[in-house]
Each structure stands twice: as C-alpha cells, then as structure tokens.
Amino acid sequence: EAQVTQNPRYLITVTGKKLTVTCSQNMNHEYMSWYRQDPGLGLRQIYYSMNVEVTDKGDVPEGYKVSRKEKRNFPLILESPSPNQTSLYFCASSFRGSGETQYFGPGTRLLVL
C-alpha cells in the first residue's frame, strides 16, 4: 500500500530534550516536506527536500532541522524543543514538487512542557 508513515504519532516531552520525528514514504517520491498545523494558522511549511541531500527552508524553519540521506526517509529533528513547538506535525511527499498531489502522513501530535 502506498503510504507516508510517521513515528511517533503522539509525543510528550520537556523543554530542551532533543527529539526526532521520523517520516518514511514508499512511493519513490523525490519531494518531501514537513508542515505544522496550528488552530487558526492552517498548514505552515517547515522544511522541504527536492531530492536526496537537497533540503531547504520553508516558512517557519526556526528551531527545526532535517536531513535527507535516503530518498524514502525525511526525519524532523528538534534539537532543543520549546513550548511554542507544541503542534500537530505532518510529513508529506509528492513525485516532484509541492504543486503536484501531495500525500500526507497521519500526523504527529507533539506536546512540549
């Protein structure tokens, strides 16, 4: 089954404790992206990757890191989480770019205390 998977689905952590949210897709997509969704603010892009070893900042990259060492995986790293990073996070992938059909993962709900 074609899908985007994210882990964990729910995470509670404390300020400053490094964490990684994994994202994997099995559709051989070149483009992958991370979004955060907050009430009233819609979907905001954090980082995206056009292909392996090619990443770039989205609209709200501060406090986040990403890497793309393999085509299928695109982890999101919070080196020192803060309460304002409490949010619902989505990974998405598409064949080439964000203007094509994007396939979203199920989401990761993060609470930073």
Asked if 41 is part of the footprint of another protein (rule: CB under 8 A), the reply reads: yes
Among 1, 62, 69, 99, binds another protein (CB under 8 A): 99
Query: By CB under 8 A, which span of 18-26, 41-49, 66-74, 76-84 interacts with another protein?
Result: 41-49
Site stretch for another protein (CB under 8 A), options 11-19, 44-52, 65-73, 79-87: 44-52
Please state, in angstroms and rounded to a whole number, the distance separating the CA atoms of residues 107 and 42: 14
Nearer to another protein, 15 or 51 (CB): 51
Q: Is 4 in the site for another protein (CB under 8 A)?
A: yes
Q: Which residues bind another protein (CB under 8 A)?
A: 4, 31, 40-45, 48, 50, 56, 90, 92, 96-107
